[in-house]
Every structure is written in structure tokens, then in C-alpha cells.
Chain A
Amino acid sequence: MAKKTYDLLFKLLLIGDSGVGKTCILFRFSDDAFTTTFISTIGIDFKIKTVELGGKKIKLQIWDTAGQERFHTITTSYYRGAMGIMLVYDITNEKSFENIVKWLRNIDEHANEDVEKMILGNKCDMSDKRTVSKERGETIAREHGIRFMETSAKANINIERAFSELAGAILEKTAGREPGDPADRVYVDRRQQPSTTKSCCN
């Protein structure tokens, strides 16, 4: 048996309306006019990222809703085992911001009550098209007692920082607790769905 290469494992979810750039939060290798990347056709199920915080090596398993939000099928099974949730809206899309409140309600209904949340106003590189001010984002986050940050997946602003901060908050919460066995939560049964969302940054 090989020795364990990490100290803690956190399961994180990305949640928000379609088109806010959740997929983009981790997308940079793009399609061009004549070719499509094999991966963008199939879609990504989850990612593993490693961060170091407080001397601990932490593995983040990050899940995207992969379009399920359009069918309002995000329920308990999706939230199960989630320790952190990134709630993403698009600063150029008023509706996606208004829906943050709905998503918060959905999380309250279905997720573990001590799940750590963070609100991200994405696409902050597109200031000329902004319709949601930073202050409004900060206000809603304050009202719900949640962290807030503006990000740009496209320009790679604050993305790493957002993940580190969310992981740090979970770490504080779990300090002293033993890491749970993650083995039973590796796959959500989400059989191959044709992915129709591409190049969401544009």
C-alpha cells in the first residue's frame, strides 16, 4: 500500500445559472473555427486540484453541475458530501445575480447545513458590460454571512485565490476532525451527456 499523498480531501461544487462561466472558471484550452477539442465535446465530470494550506496538503475534488441546472435537477444527491460550494453569477447578467437567492434556498433545502459557501461575481474583465455592481454582490454576501469575490476566469483573476480561501474556511471548520473516507463519493452516476455548452467566455 502506497503512503497517502495528502492530508485532507474536500469536495467542492460549482453552482449557478447556465452561462455564468462556471465551466470557464477552469477553461482555457479553446476550440477554433475548424476543430473542436475532444474534451469539450464530452464534457468534464470533476477535477482534482492540490493546494497547500497551513502546512497541509489538501486535495480538492471539484464538481461542476454540467448543465443540470437548466433542468432544475440539482437535488440532495448532488449535494451529498459537499463541504464547500462556489455560487457563481455573471456580473454582466442581472438575472444570474437575482437567481443567487434561489440557489441559496436550494442549498438550504438540499445541502448539509454546515457547508461552506462563497459567492463569485464572474467575468469581472468585462467591465464595459457590467450590470451588477460590486457593492450589490458584497451586500448580498453580507446579508447571508458568506464570503464574496469578483473573478475573471478568462483573465485568470482571483480564481486560485477563491479556491484557496474556500478551502481555508473548510479547513478552519474541520480542524481537529479526522478526514472522512472519500471512497464512496467518487462518482455521481451521470452517464455521458452530450455537452452543448462551449466557449462560455464569449
Chain B
Amino acid sequence: MPDCNKNFESEIKEGKNLRNVKCKYCSSLILTPSTGTFTSFEFNLPLMKQSKVNDSNPDTENVSLFWAVNEMYTFQNVGFSNTVGDNKYLTCADCEAGPIGFHDIPSKKSYVALSRVQHV
């Protein structure tokens, strides 16, 4: 799993994100400190870049470390994709890099993948 290669322990304080969560590409602010709750489960998240020959069946990777956000207006800046199944994918609001995580429509919770953002 891509997010197992990196140790994120120092980013967690009392179960929340210690630092700002920003876009890796344009540094747009996504979450301020202590607004995401550390959560771990496995999810198949599509890769940001997809080969053009493979439109209907996107390449994914298994991601397991997330900042859970209960209410969407907790985000400073974020984009929500159109609906796919029960989910909407999360993107950077400024450069639209993504998915940086996903939104679960039934529970209204959002999950930001630690490996797809930077902590500064």
C-alpha cells in the first residue's frame, strides 16, 4: 500500500491532524489543524492520472489512512465530483488535482487520504 511507506504518526495529535492539510500541487488549504479525525480502513481510490485507453475501468490503488471529516463545511477549500455509486470524490478546489479522498453519501462523511495531500 502506498501509504504504508511513510510514517504519518508524527502528524497525529490526540487523534486529529496536527498540521494544516494542503494540496500537494498548488498548496491550496484543505483542512486547518485538528479538524480531521485519523481513521484507518481500506479503500480502492482511483489514481489521479489515468491512461487514455482505459476510460471505463480506472486504475486504482488501495489506500488505508484517512482524515475523516463529519461535516463538509469543515473544509477550507475542496471540490466534490459528480456521484459515482455511493460516493463523490474529493479534489483540490483550486487546481482540481484528485481524487484526494472521497465522500460517502449515505453517512455524509468525507475521507481525505493522507498519502494524497501534504502536511505543513
Contacts and interface: CB of A to CB of B under 8 A. Distances in A.
B73 A40 contact: no
Given A37-B49, A48-B72, A28 B82 contact: no
B35 interface: yes
B81 interface: yes
A48 B83 contact: no
A49 B49 contact: no
A26 B46 CA distance: 21
Contacts, number: 116
A38 B99 CA distance: 7
B79 to A, nearest CB: 4
A108 to B, nearest CB: 29
A6 B73 contact: yes
B53 to A, nearest CB: 9
A2 B91 contact: no
Given A34-B51, A39-B81, A44 B70 contact: no
A181 to B, nearest CB: 12
B14 interface: no
B93 to A, nearest CB: 5
B80 to A, nearest CB: 5
B6 interface: no
Interface residues of A, number: 35
A27 B29 CA distance: 16
Contact of A28 (B72, B76, B81, B94): B94
Contacts of B50: 35-38, 41
Contact of A48 (B52, B77, B84, B95): B77
A26 B80 contact: no
A43 B75 CA distance: 20
A48 B93 contact: yes
A61 B48 CA distance: 24
A68 to B, nearest CB: 12
A46 B79 contact: yes
A124 B48 CA distance: 30
A27 B93 CA distance: 9
B92 interface: yes
Given A29-B97, A182-B73, 12 more contacts: A5-B73, A27-B95, A27-B96, A29-B26, A37-B49, A37-B96, A38-B58, A48-B72, A48-B78, A49-B76, A50-B29, A187-B83
Interface of B: 25-26, 29, 35, 46-52, 55, 58, 70-84, 88-89, 91-99, 105
